[in-house]
Amino acid sequence: MRVVIAEDERIIALGLASLLKKLGHDVRSLCSSGERCIELVEAERPDVVFMDIRMDGPMDGIEAAAVVKARFGTPVIFTTAFDDRHTRERAAEVSPAAFLTKPVGGDSIRGAMAKIDVAAVPKAL
């Protein structure tokens, strides 16, 4: 699957990209803000976005995910170190494909990716 990663900690983004590539996925772009993620989703038309919840900039990952899903219909997998009730409730409002608590490993990524129905992801015209 084609993937965009939105993560403000570069080392975590690179580690996630490495894991996804080892699992056979095509990591198209990395970014560190919600605003940039929206731009990349529009340009790249990925099958899925891995989105950190707390990122640089005025827009957090949950807000960016809401825009990504509404404008492009692209599934979002949240990754976060903050596994509190409030964060989970806010994240649930945008119906993510999965919610992964950091650190994420190959098994959790594999399980989350298995939930994505590629045939249902809108493609660029």
**Residue 124: per-residue pLDDT:** 53
What is the model's pLDDT at position 121? 61
Q: How many domains does the chain have?
A: 1
pLDDT digits (tens, 9 = 90+) for 41-79: 999 999 999 999 998 789 999 999 999 999 999 999 999
Band the pLDDT of 113: cuts 50, 70, 90. very high
Beta bridge partners of 52: 79
Query: Does residue 123 lie within any of the structural domains?
Result: no
pLDDT over 90 percentage in the chain? 82
Residue 22 lies in a domain: yes
Determine the structural domain holding residue 97 and report its residue range: 2-115
Coil, helix or strand at residue 75: coil
Total count of residues recorded for the chain: 125
Note whether residue 57 is domain-resident: yes
Residue 27: CATH number of its domain? 3.40.50.2300
The answer to the question of residue 125 being in a domain is: no
Stretch (H or E) spanning 34: helix 34-44
Q: What is the pLDDT of residue 9?
A: 95
| C-alpha dist (Å) from residue 53 to 22, 33, 42, 45, 106 | 24, 10, 20, 20, 20
Whether 121 is in a domain gets the answer no
How much is the average pLDDT of 14-37? 97
Question: Is residue 7 assigned to a domain?
Answer: yes
pLDDT at 120: 59
Q: How many helices (H) and strands (E) does the chain have?
A: 5, 5
Q: Of all residues in the chain, what percent carry a pLDDT higher than 70?
A: 94
Predicted confidence (pLDDT) per residue in 77-96, tens digit = 999 998 889 999 999 999 99
Q: Does residue 102 fall inside a structural domain?
A: yes
User: Are the beta carbons of 4 and 77 closer than 8 angstroms?
Assistant: no
